[in-house]
């Protein structure tokens, strides 16, 4: 909790949740007075037929809003060049509204395009002058661009966050953008869209959501509203992730995970402080060609162990969030319990703790260390190079 007792909790995105709720997308856009919608997605959603499904929903309407175009070339990690390409496409098709379909880099790119349109940028880097770029009210104002997201994985919860991260090719690192109006106006959580997700993707995105929840629980700026979402999100994930991995058609488990993902993200944003797990995951993701979800899934217990001095003060809260018995135990015992619980969950859902395909090399090892050491939150919690090297050894050994 903040030493002053002051905190801000922001959740401006309206959530529509139910199996089959995707059918409401055109009508929801109509209610926001959208006329021409651009659809952003990635190749996976195109291959599964989801993009075609959404195209058919707009075609069936026969009136405004129209689907102006589809841009489905968004990579797993959002970067400035992709944002700029998507921005040019949006202007070419004269779109006045944005539909983000899918995870990974899709929510980030959609936010970058909206921000650039609002400020009339031709290059998103015009708004990314530093590693951490923050607009706050009252300087930040409503962007008045209808914006909706359709979640296809129960992971980062980026669909509802007011922040975005982009890999800046010029700086060879991630830049963060925070603005209270950056997130979508609405998000659709339709568990039917996740039924075909591979078990590995289900596992990694679920663990990524758990990382958000636990970082929020451990944050020195945690508050009652963030706690309400963080604790419930963590418990839902622990209870439902093994069910969804073992039976991909379990609609209720997948519905619970979708809701947990956005609750975890809300808690994470509302208690933002030092986030050692995410700083490490972002660096591995950028330089080892893996998704941020998988990076978080593998590194979650490794980072809690490596940065035990940061997590020990909150270890009792972490234990409760994971449904562990905490009463009467010393902090060091509880920390071991938390780490063991997370590693057990990794085993149950099939997370490889030493993934060979990450291709950690001497060259990108130095880049990983540099990226973590230059993270925007380094002034809150100092991460030392020996700890990063220790984490790298855990992954490659």
Domain boundary residue, one of 189, 211, 234: 189
**pLDDT at position 104, please?**
78
Q: Are residues 174 and 209 in the same domain?
A: no
**pLDDT at position 1, please?**
56
> What letter would DSSP give residue 162?
S
How far is C-alpha 124 from the geometric centre of its chain's CA atoms?
Answer: 20
Q: Are residues 231 and 354 in the same domain?
A: yes
Tell me, yes or no, whether 172 lies in a domain. Answer: yes
Return the closest-CA partner of residue 94 out of 19, 35, 27. Answer: 35
Range of the domain at 319: 199-396
Average pLDDT over residues 78-86: 96
Supply the CATH number for residue 246's domain. Answer: 1.20.1090.10
Q: Are residues 169 and 221 in the same domain?
A: no
Q: Are residues 210 and 260 in the same domain?
A: yes
Q: Are residues 239 and 173 in the same domain?
A: no
Q: Are residues 121 and 226 in the same domain?
A: no
| DSSP 3-state of 133 | strand
Report pTM: 0.91
CA distances from 236 to 248, 255, 334, 345 (A): 16, 10, 21, 13
Q: Are residues 312 and 389 in the same domain?
A: yes
Tell me, yes or no, whether 133 lies in a domain. Answer: yes
Average pLDDT over residues 43-60: 89
User: Between β-strands 132-134 and 97-101, what pairing exists: parallel, antiparallel or unpaired?
Assistant: unpaired
Q: Are residues 165 and 215 in the same domain?
A: no
Domain boundary residue, one of 189, 216, 240: 189
The pLDDT confidence band at residue 153, using thresholds 50, 70 and 90, is: confident
**pLDDT at position 3, please?**
60
Strands (DSSP E) contained in 202-253 are none
Q: How large is the angle between the packed helices 292-306 and 199-218, nearest 10 degrees?
A: 40
pLDDT of residue 48 exceeding 80: yes
Q: Are residues 45 and 84 in the same domain?
A: yes
| DSSP 3-state of 184 | coil
Q: What is the number of structural domains in the chain?
A: 2
Cβ contact 174:229 at 8 Å: no
| DSSP 3-state of 142 | coil
Domain boundary residue, one of 189, 213, 243: 189
What residues contact residue 192 under an 8 Å CB cut-off, 6+ apart?
Answer: 19, 20, 22, 251
Average pLDDT over residues 283-287: 86
């Amino acid at each position: 909790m903040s030493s002053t007792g002051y905190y801000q909790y922001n959740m401006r995105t309206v959530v529509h949740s139910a199996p089959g709720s995707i059918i409401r997308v055109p009508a929801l856009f109509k209610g926001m007075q959208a006329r021409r919608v651009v659809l952003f997605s990635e190749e996976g959603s195109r291959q599964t037929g989801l993009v075609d499904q959404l195209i058919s929903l707009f075609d069936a309407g026969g009136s405004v809003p129209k689907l102006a175009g589809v841009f489905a070339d968004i990579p797993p990690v959002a970067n400035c060049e992709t944002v700029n390409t998507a921005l040019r496409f949006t202007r070419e098709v004269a779109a006045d509204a944005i539909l983000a379909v899918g995870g990974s880099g899709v929510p980030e790119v959609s936010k970058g395009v909206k921000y650039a349109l609002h400020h009339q940028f031709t290059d998103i880097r015009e708004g990314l002058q530093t590693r951490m770029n923050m607009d706050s009210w009252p300087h930040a104002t409503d962007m008045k661009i209808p914006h909706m997201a359709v979640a296809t994985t129960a992971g980062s919860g980026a669909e509802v966050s007011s922040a975005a991260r982009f890999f800046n090719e010029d700086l060879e690192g991630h830049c963060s953008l925070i603005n209270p109006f950056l997130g979508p106006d609405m998000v659709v959580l339709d568990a039917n869209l996740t039924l075909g997700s591979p078990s590995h993707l289900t596992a990694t995105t679920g663990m990524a959501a758990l990382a958000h929840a636990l970082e929020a629980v451990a944050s020195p700026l945690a508050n009652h509203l963030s706690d309400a979402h963080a604790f419930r999100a963590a418990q839902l994930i622990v209870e439902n992730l093994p069910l969804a991995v073992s039976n991909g058609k379990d609609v209720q488990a997948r519905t619970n995970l979708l809701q947990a993902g956005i609750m975890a993200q809300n808690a994470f944003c509302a208690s933002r402080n030092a986030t050692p797990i995410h700083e490490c995951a972002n660096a591995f993701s950028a330089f080892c060609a893996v998704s941020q979800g998988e990076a978080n899934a593998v590194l979650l217990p490794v980072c809690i162990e490596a940065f035990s001095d940061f997590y020990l003060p909150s270890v009792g809260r972490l234990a409760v969030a994971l449904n562990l018995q905490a009463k009467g135990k010393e902090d060091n015992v509880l920390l071991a319990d938390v780490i063991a619980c997370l590693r057990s969950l990794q085993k149950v859902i099939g997370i490889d703790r030493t993934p060979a395909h990450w291709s950690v090399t001497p060259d990108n090892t130095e880049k990983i260390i540099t990226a973590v050491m230059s993270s925007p939150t380094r002034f809150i919690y100092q991460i030392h190079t020996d700890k990063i090297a220790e984490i790298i050894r855990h992954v490659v050994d």
